[in-house]
């Protein structure tokens, strides 16, 4: 039996407070605007990936949550493999003593400990984990920002999950995508008082994938053009300033405005895309009422109906009990499971 080379890693979920929505290059995954997210702690939500390489393997194979899936049909996964193998091949060419891994077939096992494709950023943690684990297997001498350029080609938002804390994905300008990468704005220790609560409104697979949705938006929405030119550049600066100053009311206001605009852009898409449902909108009303005399919580929704609530630690118990009050009995079952999570 030939030697087996193996690596196993976990990667966290990130939830954007300035959303990425729209690609200017669909194969390299270059966005139409910069974005910014908070990486959640890995204690509750994470992807875990194990990769093995061996001369005994005859094909590349992939198991996602225990079920085998085709690698060839998944162009983005193929791109991440191609990029990391090319980097390994360069290392091997420079150093003849290294084991020859670049040419070996690999087996990948990846699982999420939360619903896949329900708007809970599973592609972000999944691709970040894939690329990070490949980099460990191939012993690539790359930093997190360099790896983010590869992870971006799996799923755009994945590039931000290579860092903890507060992370910007700079859209970049170059046609080859080399400057479209993630950078850390502040580490996870910067704002320990800030927490995130995930309200699982539905764990069903979303109707319109983010890939399909954003391309339709780019083609048809006039509001998107206003958003990317006139709104996001200043909002990125304001958000970075609010994070550095730990100014929660400002952070919250910008987060909610950006979530609202992202969903407005989805509605402006033709035909329109609806990601939020009645429970999502009820959560917006509850948080708006809760903030009447001062901003104490922020909601944000990705490409699905689930809410993420950001708030200072001291408000979380109150928010939890208010939401449980409005959704009695449903608060802990399959219509509204509340999971607490520390960023």
In the list 84, 123, 255, 306, the residue contacting ligand PMV (rule: CB under 6 A) is 123
| Shortest reach from residue 12's CB to ligand PMV, in Å | 13
Site string for ligand PMV, 195-214 (x = CB under 6 A): ---------------xx---
In the list 34, 35, 133, 255, the residue contacting ligand PMV (rule: CB under 6 A) is 35
- Measured at the CA of 77, the angle between CA 224 and CA 228, to 5 degrees, comes to 15
| Shortest reach from residue 326's CB to ligand PMV, in Å | 25
In the bound state with ligand PMV, the residue whose beta carbon lies nearer, of 54 and 211, is 211
Instruction: Report phi then psi at 165, rounded to 5.
Output: 75, -135
Tokens 């109150």 belong to residue: 318
Instruction: Report phi then psi at 273, rounded to 5.
Output: -115, 130
The residues, any chain, with a CB within 8 Å of residue 103's CB and separated by 6 or more, are 85, 89
Let me know: does 220 contact 328? Beta carbons within 8 Å. Answer: no
| Shortest reach from residue 231's CB to ligand PMV, in Å | 15
Binding of residue 125 to ligand PMV (CB under 6 A): no
| Shortest reach from residue 296's CB to ligand PMV, in Å | 24
| Shortest reach from residue 324's CB to ligand PMV, in Å | 26
Binding of residue 19 to ligand PMV (CB under 6 A): yes
In the bound state with ligand PMV, the residue whose beta carbon lies nearer, of 92 and 203, is 203
The residues, any chain, with a CB within 8 Å of residue 98's CB and separated by 6 or more, are 91, 92, 139
In the bound state with ligand PMV, the residue whose beta carbon lies nearer, of 76 and 296, is 76
Binding of residue 32 to ligand PMV (CB under 6 A): no
Looking at 16-24, 82-90, 220-228, 326-334, which segment touches ligand PMV (CB under 6 A)?
16-24
For the segment 254-313, give every residue that binds ligand PMV (CB under 6 A): 302-303
In the bound state with ligand PMV, the residue whose beta carbon lies nearer, of 137 and 157, is 157
Separation of alpha carbons 14 and 30, rounded Å: 18
In the list 49, 125, 135, 157, the residue contacting ligand PMV (rule: CB under 6 A) is 157
| CA distances in angstroms from 213 to 3, 28, 115, listed in the order given | 44, 17, 20
Looking at 102-110, 131-139, 149-157, 200-208, which segment touches ligand PMV (CB under 6 A)?
149-157
Interface with ligand PMV (CB under 6 A): 16, 19-21, 35, 123-124, 155-157, 210-211, 302-303
């Amino acid at each position: 039996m030939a030697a087996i080379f193996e690596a196993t890693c976990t990667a966290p979920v990130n939830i954007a407070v300035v959303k990425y929505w729209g690609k200017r290059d669909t194969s390299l995954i270059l966005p139409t605007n910069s974005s910014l997210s908070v990486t959640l702690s890995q204690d509750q939500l994470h992807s875990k990936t194990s990769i093995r390489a061996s001369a005994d393997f005859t094909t590349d194979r992939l198991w996602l949550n225990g079920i085998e899936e085709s690698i060839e049909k998944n162009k983005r996964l193929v791109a991440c493999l191609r990029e990391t193998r090319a980097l390994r091949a360069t290392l091997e060419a420079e150093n003849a003593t290294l084991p020859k891994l670049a040419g070996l077939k690999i087996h990948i096992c990846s699982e999420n400990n939360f619903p896949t494709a329900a708007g809970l950023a599973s592609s972000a943690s999944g691709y970040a984990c894939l690329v990070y684990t490949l980099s460990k297997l191939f012993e690539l001498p790359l930093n997190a920002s360099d790896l983010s350029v590869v992870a971006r080609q799996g799923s755009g938002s994945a590039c931000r999950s290579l860092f903890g804390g507060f992370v910007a994905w700079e859209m970049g300008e170059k046609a080859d995508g080399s400057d479209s990468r993630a950078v850390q704005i502040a580490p996870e220790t910067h704002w320990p008082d800030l927490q995130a609560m995930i309200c699982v409104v539905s764990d069903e697979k979303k109707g319109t994938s983010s890939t399909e949705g954003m391309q339709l938006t780019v083609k048809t929405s006039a509001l998107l053009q206003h958003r990317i030119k006139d709104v996001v550049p200043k909002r990125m600066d304001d958000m970075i300033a609010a994070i550095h100053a730990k100014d929660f009311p400002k952070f919250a206001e910008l987060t909610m405005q950006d979530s609202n605009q992202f969903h407005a852009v989805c509605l402006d898409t033709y035909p329109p895309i609806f990601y939020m449902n009645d429970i999502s909108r009820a959560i917006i009303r509850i948080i708006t009422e809760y903030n009447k005399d001062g901003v104490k919580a922020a909601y944000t929704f990705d490409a699905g109906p689930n809410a993420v609530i950001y708030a200072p630690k001291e408000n979380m118990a109150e928010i939890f009990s208010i939401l449980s009050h409005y959704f009695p009995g449903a608060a802990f079952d399959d219509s509204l499971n509340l999971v607490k999570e520390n960023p």
